[in-house]
Each structure stands twice: as structure tokens, then as C-alpha cells.
Amino acid sequence: MRLSFRLLLSSLGFCAGLAPLAAFADPAPVIAVNREIGLSMTGTFRNSVSGGNSRLMENSGSGFITQSTSSSRYRTIGWTPGFQADASVMFNAFGIENLYGALHFSLEDGQRNYKSHYRSYSSNSAPYGFSAGGNDSSNGTDNRGEIGKGFLLLSDSLLLTPFIQGGYVTSGSDGDFGYGSGNYFAGAGLKADYALTSRLVLRGRFGWAEVLNSGISYNNQPRPLWEGGLGMDYRLTQRLHLTAGGDYSYISYGHDQEGNYSQHRGRNTSVIVSYLPGTYSYSGDSSALSNGLKLHAGLAWQF
């Protein structure tokens, strides 16, 4: 947690240091909304689901064959409160107009509902299963940076800004981004700002990133993260702005198929181990996904 707050302070200091590079005299509304430091309250809805199936067949060699299967499913769903801090700057430098840089930090901390189901069936024993549920602690942080360049269109009422992004996310026990771990990500995206009036700017964002060493699958392959958001920025005074919006994210950790506890993505495997006097065959598969919606509202100071 201390590291997260240090990142927040560093982010604010970074954008404050870039402020003198920009010309701040009466910028276009779509430029002004990219020269802000803001703080917002958030509520984040998260739905994380994972599960797996396994199949086992054992031949004792004396004609007695045992077959068994099992299935498991885990789900965490619900809302958690939090806050986010944003700092962005747009400036001209080196003969290039509307260079863009931004830093973002968000924290969520609360409880979500946890449910688990397990079932096992065997040819030589009675079926077995259990279910569990209740509230479980859930927390996470999102630390990211963006750099890009804005392009003014439609008589300076529309600003399109392609950007590249990178960062680090952490999570608690609800299965988001790797079950209580931290992961780096990198990608790109596009922002759009449209001035509906001189005071009101509508904002949109679409992003893609690869989550490195995703953690949910045994082979730890990178997985794609998709993001989209809509928001608004309303100028209350010359410097004070009201901000609000919603951001959606989705990540699928893929579908893994395994044989004899070794994962092989993208093809069926079934490992048969021979030993005297019988044989043993095992195969299985697992999958997981997480999606979330974050609503936020707060105030920003235009510099």
C-alpha cells in the first residue's frame, strides 16, 4: 500500500513538473480537459469466474477398471468502494503540437460474494460434492501511464489521441488478475474528446493491453485485456471541473487442456502412463475470465 501511495505522489509531481511546458492561455475545451489533476470516488463491480474438469481412468491389469470425473467452479461477484487519482498534461514541444502524457492510480477495497462448487463421480464409490459461499475480502490497485499525441478536428471541437500504455495491477483474493498477485501489462489505445458546448466535453476511451505472466493458467501465457470507457467533464469555474464516467474491462485467461498435470495449450492431450501390471490415464481442462465495471465521479483542477 505504501508503494501505491508513493506512485500516486510521483504521478502528481510528474505532471506538475510538465505544466510549465504547456501554453495554458484559454485552450480549446478539448485541450483543457487533458490538463487536469483530479480525484474521484469509485464503485467497482467485478465478476470473476474460473473452473475446471478432470477425467481419470485406471486399469489395475486384472480386468478391474476405475473411472472417475470431477468438476469445480469458483465465482466472485459484487461491488467494492474505492477512489482514483488522475493527472494528465498536453503540451507543445520540439515543434510537435499536442503531445500527451497521463498517469492514473486507483484503489478498491471491500468485500464481494464468493461461491464455490465441487462435484466428483466415481465408478466404485458414491458421488461426492460440496458447495461454499459467503463474503470474501477483495482489493486491488491499478497503476498506469500513457503517452501519445492529440489531433484536433472539426474546428477544434474534436480531439483524437492515440496512445501507448503500460502499468502494473495488483489484486486481493477475488481472482482478478492472477489470484492475489501483481502483473505488468503493456498495450495501446485511442481517446476521443468532443466539446458539446464550451463547458461540457464528452469523453471516450478504448484500450488493449497484454497482461504479462497472467498467472491463472499453468503455462502463464500473456493474455489480452480489453477496456472501454465513457465519461464527461463539465467546467464549473475557470479552473474547477466536475468529472464522471464509467469504465469496462474484460480479460479471458483462456482455456487450458492438460494431461498428467502438464499443460498444453490449443490441443487435446491425454497422457497414459504404463506400469506393471496396469495403466493410468488422466486428462483435464480449465478456464477463467474476469470482467468489471467501474463508476467514478469527482472533481478536477485545470492547470
Domains by residue range for the chain, with CATH: 2-302 (2.40.128)
Give me the phi and psi of 264, to 5 degrees please.
-140, 110
Lowest average pLDDT, out of 85-94, 116-125, 141-150, 181-190, goes to 116-125
Residue whose cell numbers read 489470484: 179
Section 254-267 average pLDDT: 48
pLDDT of residue 288: 80
**Mean pLDDT, residues 32-51 taken together:** 94
Please tell me the predicted confidence (pLDDT) of residue 143: 95
pLDDT band of residue 280 (cuts 50, 70, 90) is low
Q: Kindly state the DSSP code that residue 303 receives in the 8-state scheme.
A: -
Given a cut of 80, whether residue 270 has pLDDT beyond it is no
pLDDT at 258 exceeding the cut of 90: no
pLDDT averaged over every residue in the chain: 81
pLDDT of residue 269: 42
pLDDT at 265: 36
Which CB contacts under 8 angstroms, 24+ apart, belong to 83-86? 83/39, 83/40, 83/41, 83/42, 83/107, 84/39, 84/40, 84/42, 84/142, 84/296, 84/298, 85/8, 85/11, 85/12, 85/37, 85/38, 85/39, 85/40, 86/36, 86/37, 86/38, 86/39, 86/40, 86/300
Per-residue pLDDT, 22: 44
- Residues of the chain with pLDDT > 90, as a percent, come to 50
Determine the average pLDDT of the residues in 174-180.
42
Phi-psi region of 245 (alpha: psi -120 to 50; beta: other; left: phi over 0): left
- Report in angstroms the alpha-carbon separations of 24 from 27, 90, 130, 139: 6, 10, 63, 38
Q: What is the mean pLDDT of residues 133-144?
A: 89
CA neighbours closer than 13 Å in the CB half-sphere of residue 225:
29
Overall average pLDDT of the 236-264 stretch: 78
Structure-model confidence comparison of residues 298 and 50, the more confident one: 298
